Structure 1
Amino acid sequence: MIQGLCQDISTENIFHKNDNTLIDWLEKSAEEYKLNYLLAHAEDGVIWGRFDRNKLTTAEQVFYQPNFDVNFPKLRLQTLQQCRIFGEQGEILLWRTDRGWKSRLVQNNSNVEHIKEVQILWGTQKEKGKNGQDGEKDGFTLLSDGSQGLKHAVPLTVISSYFNQEKKKLYRPVHLVINHYINYDEYTGIGQIFLSRLVSLELKKVNDEKAYS
């Protein structure tokens, strides 16, 4: 099953300490496999990104000091631990090993059973800049969560009507869709998840009856 769903992707064009080769590799991969979003985990934080016309934009390029009270990390080889670029068509996972970078591709396969999971992401309100600048810019929306004010910038346009206008009733409209692939033991018939991938980001309005399904 795994062989029919996954394939290795060459990372030979990603050169040590050369961030431009990383960006070039990501943009070419996203173009080839029709992928839309980036979610990376680095030593200094989480990085969101999006691909528009085969060009990558990350959150720190859109929201930054002094206009916005944020300090999002930059996508750098030096601090990157793993990175996923994903969309409806598939996902590429890039990760650091002791021997360099490894990568694998997962594409849609109707012959492999999967379970859809929807994870609710932080963000109960849209943030503004220090001087009232719009928190919706270049396909990103700057969000904060509850009284703690945890902030991130998702690569989606989230209009105000998606939030609950009653501050005491917190609602998080941005959801991350994940597919979990199942394999069944040929002797026992017991199924287990053997692989998961990111699929898409979606929005659910506060009054949508399906928002909690």
Structure 2
Amino acid sequence: MRIAIAGAGAVGRSIAQELLGSSHEVMLIERDAAHFEPSTVEQAEWVHADACELSSLEDAGIQLCDVVIAATGDDKVNLVVSLLAKTEFAVRRVVARVNDPTNEWLFTEAWGVDVAVSTPRMLAAMVEEAVTVGDLVRLMTLRQGQANLVEITLPHDTALAGQAVSELALPRDAALVTILRGGRVIVPQPDDPFEQGDELLFVASADVEQEIRTALGLA
């Protein structure tokens, strides 16, 4: 995939390195001369421009990108970049960094954002996920479908132990996507049994999260 990253600070460069390691084509767009350092990520294409300017994005070839990541440290800039990428250039997937959690409500489809990533929220979720058993933890909001990635770790006294995946009666707008068990990542099959301590990952709309808990016998 060809991926454009607006913002070549520490976060943008780190994302670029990870994506390049996965054999993607990466373009870094940076307007601040102090952060324009092509030698730090030599495999990426660097563009010295303002990602909030329509003409700059067009000259950079943003319309040829499959994904745009708005990764600057300014939420206003990330919103403008997202909106331009989606509405003016029809970029298929737009991911935006949320710096201030109080601004998270703005990062929606209306601003062209498919996935909003809030670092404070993610860190808090990781802490909760590490210490919480038997309760839902929201890991990420997927804005395009108005759905969330949620996790729950089955307690040791769960009644689900030994029950097959096919017997779990989930609500309509929820799907079990992965079971993490020890060092294994299990794509759930109908006959797979649940075990104590399983970490379950669901994609679900917010209004059915309580129904998931009920289905798991944790209400």
Q: Which has the higher helix share?
A: 2
TM-score normalized by the length of structure 1: 0.26
More strand by share: 1
Q: TM-score, normalised by structure 2?
A: 0.26
The structure whose Rg is larger is 2
**Structure with more contact order per residue of length (Cα contacts < 8 Å, sep ≥ 6):** 1
